[in-house]
Amino acid sequence: MKKIVPLVLSAAFVFMAEGAGAQENASALKLAGQYGCTSCHNAEVKLVGPAFKSVAEKYAGQADAVDMLVKKVTNGGSGNWGRIPMPAHPQVGPENTKALVEWVLRGAPSK
């Protein structure tokens, strides 16, 4: 019994942590479809824009990446991945854009 309690507790903790993440990932994925991000981006492969996994790798450990990328998605621009510009996305709004960027920086998991 003494060994089982901590095991059950840590299992519950892992479950809760995964539960919250899965919900955030699912809603970010939905936003990415809704706002057309996925017509130019894929998690794994380069389409018109870079693969979201490559974006996550490029900015791993960079503290100001979220702010910089929120501005970039909102205002559009080119030069970090090549000459093709990303169009501006002011319609997404700051909160959804931040949720999308944080998801991209997690590697854009589908669940």
Map residue 77 onto helix, strand or coil.
strand
User: Is 79 among the residues that bind ligand HEC (CB under 6 A)?
Assistant: yes
Q: Which of 29, 51, 89, 108 binds ligand HEC (CB under 6 A)?
A: 89
The residues, ordered by sequence, that sit 6+ positions from 100 with a Cβ below 8 Å of its Cβ are 28, 31, 32, 35, 37, 73, 92
Map residue 46 onto helix, strand or coil.
strand
Residue 78 structure tokens = 């080119």
The least CB distance from residue 17 to ligand HEC, in Å, is: 24
Radius of gyration for the alpha carbons in the chain, expressed in angstroms and rounded: 17
User: Is 65 among the residues that bind ligand HEC (CB under 6 A)?
Assistant: no
User: Is 51 among the residues that bind ligand HEC (CB under 6 A)?
Assistant: no
User: Is 82 among the residues that bind ligand HEC (CB under 6 A)?
Assistant: yes
Phi/psi of residue 70, nearest 5 degrees: -60, -45
User: Is 75 among the residues that bind ligand HEC (CB under 6 A)?
Assistant: no
Q: Which of 51, 69, 99, 108 binds ligand HEC (CB under 6 A)?
A: 69
Q: How far apart are the first and last CA of the chain?
A: 34
Q: Using CB under 6 A, which residues numbered 20 to 49 contact ligand HEC?
A: 35-37, 39-41, 48-49
Give me the residues that bind ligand HEC (CB under 6 A), please. Answer: 35-37, 39-41, 48-50, 55, 69, 72-73, 77-82, 84, 86-87, 89, 92, 100-101, 104
